[in-house]
Amino acid sequence: MLAGLSAALGAGLLWGLVFIVPLLLPDYSGAMLAAGRYAAFGVLAIVLARADGAALKRLTRADWIAAAKLALIGNMLYFAALASAIQLAGVTVPTMIIGTLPVAIAITAKLTSGDAADHGLPWGRLLLPLAVIGLGLLLVHGQGAHAGDIAHDARYWSGLALAGVALVCWTWYPLNNSYWLRRQPAGLARAWATAQGLMTLPLALMALAGIALWQWASTGTVDLAGPRPGVFVLLMLLTGLLASWLGTMLWNRASHLLPPGLAGQLIVFETLAALAYGFVWYQRWPTLAEVGGITLLMIGVVLAVRAFRQRRAPPAELERPTPV
């Protein structure tokens, strides 16, 4: 239990780092940050592919297309939307929106499941946890809204909309990833994660090419490295290694050591770590309203996850896949 909790905590601390990167690099767009991070991870996947060569050769053309879709939506679009949301609306509210992922995934899984038993949940049981989550978001939202400042409001609401896009992307990803894995023989989880990493690399390179074309068309110059190339490259390598690889490794270990019901709720470590990093960046303590809102969000997520807990253990494929 202690080893599993420590692994889950370590994964959350590492995943929380990606929420602060957009603040460390405000001069780089969300698309540029996503392209840089996953170009670094794609290069790492090439190295990892040596250990999974035999399994990767078994993948069909349709499998590689599925891996490309998962990489595009679950990696590139998700992080581009998240990074842009944080740059526009700050780290607190977008992070809390992403913190509702366990609830969004559970609701979507129930609605899209072909199992009649999955539709038997009394939806009235969700009223209380959803109300608690909504109240928590409203409390923190009230700290970030500046009524009457049209420019600020436009940026802020655009950021919240992009956080919603990121939430949709990462709700879609684990469910579709699970659907593919359930149709395969056992033992392909590691190779499948590596395959997604390999497909992420060309997507990242195409994104970089598109950004270069946009820069040329709008300014007549191309500057992919940006104003702080050394810091940018270092942070992209660190997020690719620590968040995309080591963090997922730790989460996979936690998933094996802890009961599924407990492991699913410990994704809260990512949200708490991201919020803590954000307040350190802003060099302030959270306000009383923010503390109350964050607490309500966590309580609501735990209540909702418990309401959705299945009698049988949920499939492990809904967890973030390990890339090694």
Domain boundaries along the sequence of the chain: 2-318
Average pLDDT over residues 175-204: 82
**Residue bearing the bigger pLDDT, 114 or 316:** 114
The model's pLDDT over 92-146, given as tens digits with 9 standing for 90+, comes to: 999 999 988 888 887 887 777 665 555 556 667 778 888 888 898 888 876 655 5
Of the candidates 314, 318, 317, 250, the one whose C-alpha atom is nearest the C-alpha of residue 101 is 318
Q: Which pTM value belongs to this model?
A: 0.85
Q: What is the share, in percent, of the chain residues with pLDDT greater than 90?
A: 35
The model's pLDDT over 243-297, given as tens digits with 9 standing for 90+, comes to: 887 887 787 678 677 775 566 667 788 888 999 999 999 999 988 888 998 899 8
Contact 166, 73 (CB under 8 A): no
